[in-house]
Amino acid sequence: MKKILFTVMAFATLFGAVQAQGITVWTHFGDAELEWLQNEAAAFEGAFGVPVSLVKVELGEIKQKLLLSAPEGEAADLIVPIPHDQIGEMASGGVLADMTGFATADYLADLNKQAQLAFTYNGKLFGLPMYVEGPALIVNTDLVPEAPATFEDMIAIAQGLTNDDTYGFLYDIGNFYFSYIWINSNGGYVFGRDASGSLVASDLGLANEGTVAGAELMKKFRFDYGLIPTGVDYGVADGLFIDGKLGMIYNGPWAIPNYRDAGVNVKVMPVPPTADGQYFNGFMGVQGILLNQFSANSVDAANFAKWITRPAAQVTLANLTGKIPSSNKAAQEVSSDPIIAGFAAALANAVPMPNIPEMGNVWGPMGDALTQILDNQESDVPAILNGAAAQVEGN
């Protein structure tokens, strides 16, 4: 506790002494996550005498609510948590405080570098990451007792399981979020980065050779390997896995509770590399804490943000909910949990979804492009992707 007290107070000295004015937090957390946040708020108040008021706001309402009410002084001091890909519009709208000043060398040394990148916008840290999330290969160990060591093994096992009643490997193939793994791993990308690491909206990689190669691989899943038939979407694949009729699925940690409730025994792992050493890394998301630029209690609020992102708090959250910590120390401490460890391994080299507002123009055109590409074996992949890229650029 002494070490934690020193750390929190060290951040406070950047802005002045801690003042017990009380802070307000908007959160979309529920159930175990909300209970964790309530306990952390009570502990923070007990340690520093700063009351924390938690207000439930639905995730889909937070961004617009903050953009409209923050300049009027009517928004919460903190948002706990928010997906990193939503920060661009809020940062450019001037309602997020730059939290770079709270990121000491020790804090940054312990922070997952991809999580740091996710909350960096125009070279500034606009939030403190809490946990990371993203898809991995989830294996039904009753159907697949020996996990595939290579991509080729995965395909062979999946083909061997696929018959009238059982499927070997399925996922929401028409969803660009999930299918980005094949694009990224072949050299495709959404937006490039400049020398400083900032995303460049004008550098679009959605129709380059790597993206074409990734899309051609998706066609192979359907037309060459015979694994993912027309009509398979998230609900179909997820439902078959829950029913014990699917050997492997590419899905995220949010699905694990339903699989456990259904009695499915699972192993979580990265999509295995090819025999010649090609690795597969897809998108990742990061959830973190935002500080209102117009907060009248920014010191107390920033200290509470720091409090609930400390390693000990992340360990508790991980043990309660299976969240994958953004703190390297916390991640190591919970690495004995095979589910957390499996997702952490799958996300070790994943790519944060772009956090610039222009990303909003990508999802629709690329989703439509994948539908067209997967519609028939003779689809003209380069032409379809060029059309999608032109649509993104024109929006």
Distance set, CA 295 to CA 56, 57, 59, 66, 96 (Å): 18, 18, 20, 11, 10
* Residue 201: its H or E element: strand 199-204
Distance CA 54, CA 43 (A): 14
End-to-end Cα separation, the chain, in angstroms: 52
pLDDT digits (tens, 9 = 90+) for 252-293: 999 999 999 999 999 999 999 999 999 999 999 999 999 999
Tell me the sheet residues that pair with 204: 191
Question: Is 5's pLDDT higher than 90?
Answer: no
Question: Is 15's pLDDT higher than 70?
Answer: no
CB distance 25 to 55 below 8 Å: yes
Q: What is the DSSP letter of 255?
A: G
Q: Which architecture, in CATH terms, is 2-132+284-352?
A: 3-Layer(aba) Sandwich (3.40)
According to the model, what pLDDT value does residue 337 have?
Answer: 98
pLDDT digits (tens, 9 = 90+) for 41-96: 999 999 999 999 999 999 999 999 999 999 999 999 999 999 999 999 999 999 99
Q: What is the DSSP letter of 353?
A: P
Distance CA 66, CA 76 (A): 8
Domain segments of the chain: what residues?
2-132+284-352, 136-281+355-394
pLDDT digits (tens, 9 = 90+) for 197-232: 999 999 999 999 999 999 999 999 999 999 999 999
Asked whether the domain spanning 136-281+355-394 has the same topology as the one spanning 2-132+284-352, the reply is yes
pLDDT digits (tens, 9 = 90+) for 19-29: 457 999 999 99
Listed in sequence order, the DSSP H helices in the chain are 2-12, 31-48, 59-69, 87-92, 105-110, 113-118, 151-161, 176-184, 209-219, 234-242, 256-261, 298-308, 311-321, 328-333, 338-347, 363-373, 381-394
Distance CA 170, CA 175 (A): 12
Kindly report the backbone phi and psi dihedral angles of residue 134, in degrees, each rounded to the nearest multiple of 5, phi listed first.
165, 175
pLDDT (average), residues 132-158: 99
Q: Which architecture, in CATH terms, is 136-281+355-394?
A: 3-Layer(aba) Sandwich (3.40)
Both tokens of 375, joined, read 């519609």
More confident of the two residues 131 and 14:
131
Tell me the sheet residues that pair with 357: none
The amino acid present at 212, given as its one-letter code, is V
Distance set, CA 30 to CA 65, 81, 87 (Å): 19, 12, 22
